Structure 1
Amino acid sequence: MLDPTAPQIVVQCRTLSFSWLPADPDAVAALVPAGLRPRPDRQVFLSQYVVDDETQTSGFGAYSLTYLGVTLVGADAPGGHPGGWWTHYLASSPRVRQYAVARGAPAAPGRTSIDVRGDRLTAVTEADGRPLIRSRCQVGDTGTRIRSGLNRILTTRDGRLLSGIYPFLAEPVTPFEVESVEFLDPGHPVYALRPANPLTIDWGFYTPRASFAYPGGLSSWEPDEPAEVGRLPEEPAPAPAGGQKVPARRARSGLPSGS
């Protein structure tokens, strides 16, 4: 087992990341512990990634992973990226799962694949041999733009909220467009995070070369104020300015996009 207090680095993995507005905001809010505040629109984020070779990691080996979570208010990382709460963490590697569980992540077995053919990307997350999530995107080529910064992810261990700051660097492709997200197993707990239909995307990117680090230590997190996370405000928050709705051609196609 890897020492969970030791830092780890992953380089040049294939990564799809984006966020959406959920079909069931109350179910999303119920996954966030007391003391943390989800956004009024209950934004959900997803990352599906594949590490193809053991030389891309400092100790994890090759693996694939999908994590999902809820974007938080009042937990921004240094530099301004909104913080998040992990709700699901599906990793193919027992070594990665053991490391993550010791750091408070809700790690469970799962497998992720990313297939790019021409300008079409399909990412599939499976658990127990069954497909759970299928994302379809239109993708282009990498350019000269670099996406970098710090993410804050909150977890819980032994009844304590913990904060981790994760540095990242990615080379996103252009163009990029999420065309559909399908949650395929209504009986799995991850189904609570399925997107609304029509699908509304806030942010997202695909990169064939993403690098990031797990920090060497976690710090205790003390919320600034208690949170009421069980219900939405009286007036639902509007979709984020500039949010991407599912393309009209895709909506007309009959392909499921959201719930």
Structure 2
Amino acid sequence: MTDLVAPALVAPQLVVNSRMIYFGWLPADPDAVAALVPKGLEPIANRQVFMNQYVVDDEGQTSGFGAYSLTYIGPDLAGLDAPDGVTPGRWWTHYFNSSPVVREYAAARGAPASVGRTMIEIRGRRLVATTEADGVPVIRTTARVGRTGDAVNRGQLRYITDVGGRRLSGIYPFVAEPVDPFEIESLEFLEPNHSTWSLRPANPLEITWGFYSPRSSFAYPGGESPLS
């Protein structure tokens, strides 16, 4: 029997008031999504995909990361729910980040960090979020958004990563103020030859959950422990 070794401690980081659109959908190719889940983990039955596109506009919004933008995406997992017992655990397949500081930090925790940029633009009630990988637009989200009200989303999310062949479970606390109304109007995967194409949505688009918040706060790296 192999002894479990605790993950190395890293300085925690706090991010406040990021502009964030986070949602899930059913994929066009469920088998392709399932193939992205590594051995030992199991995709959720409906092969649901998640994506978070967010922007941190100012270095004063972080405890040490500085300003940056990020899109991460991947399949939901079965049997590894977050502490609420409802929200699925998640596996990152892509992690497009604009900051070398954040990329280095995230890669050390097992994220597949690569160079990318995320832009979120709002005109009136129309939001457009565009993700670039190495300068090439690969994903574009268009949504209808309203104003923030009295509602607050809060809790913890669970992400599973692999660090040197060792699986880690990370619990990430968050607090977000969602807008109302909120509706995804379109989700476009722009590059058929890019690896993100496997995660493209079914047609017609079926969104399973989601929100946009102009004030979303969370902590890195979360409470980490070996995945037994």
Quote the residue 2:207 is aligned against. 201
Q: 1:218 deviation in Å? A: 2.3
Residue 69 of structure 1 aligns with an amino acid whose one-letter code is G
Match of 1:133 among 132, 135, 139: 139
TM-score (norm 2): 0.94
Q: Does 1:124 align with 2:130?
A: yes
Displacement of 1:58: 0.5
CA contact (8 A) 1:4 1:99 kept: no
Specify the alignment match of 1:7 in structure 2: 12
58, 63, 70: which is aligned to 1:58? 63
Paired residue type of 2:94:
H
Q: Paired residue for 1:37, among 42, 47, 50?
A: 42
Following superposition, the deviation at residue 215 of structure 1 comes to 3.2
How far does residue 130 in structure 1 lie from its aligned partner after superposition?
A: 1.1
TM-score by length of 1: 0.83
Q: Which runs of 4+ in 1 moved over 4 A?
A: none
* Alignment of 1:86 onto 2:67: no
After the TM superposition, which of the residue ranges 95-104 and 81-90 deviates more from structure 2? 81-90
Task: Show the 5 A alignment for 1:103-252.
Answer: 103-215=109-221, 218-222=224-228
Measure the CA separation in 2 of the matches of 1:218 and 1:95: 20
Q: Contact 2:158 / 2:169 at 8 angstroms: preserved in 1?
A: yes
Please name the residue that 1:242 is paired with. Answer: none
Per-residue CA deviations over 1:75-99 (Å, capped at 9, x if unaligned) read 1111222111111100000000000
CA shift digits 1:40-68 (9 cap, x unpaired): 11000000000000000001000000000
1:77 pairs with 2:77: no
Instruction: Report the 3-state secondary structure (helix = DSSP H, G, I; strand = E; otherwise coil) of the residue aligned with 2:72.
Output: strand
Could you tell me how far apart the structure 2 residues matched to 1:147 and 1:206 are? 11
Q: What CA RMSD, in Å, does the superposition of the two structures yield over aligned residues? A: 1.2
Distance in 2 of aligned mates of 1:216 and 1:185: 33
Residue pair 1:133, 1:183 contacting (<8 A) in 2 also: yes
Alpha-carbon shift at residue 5 of structure 1 (Å): 1.2
Tell me if the contact between 2:28 and 2:201 (Cα under 8 Å) persists in the aligned partners.
yes
Cα 1:125–1:197, aligned 2, differ >3 Å: closer, same or farther? Answer: same
Letter in 1 for 2:74: G
Equivalent residue letter for 1:211: S
In structure 1, what is the Cα distance between the partners aligned to 2:43 and 2:115?
A: 26
Match for residue 101 of structure 2? 95
Mapped partners of 2:9, 2:34: distance in 1: 29
2:30 corresponds, among 22, 25, 33, to 25
**Deviates further, 70-79 or 12-21:** 70-79
| Unpaired stretches in structure 1, ≥5 consecutive residues | 223-259
Among 54, 77, 87, which residue is 1:49 paired with?
Answer: 54
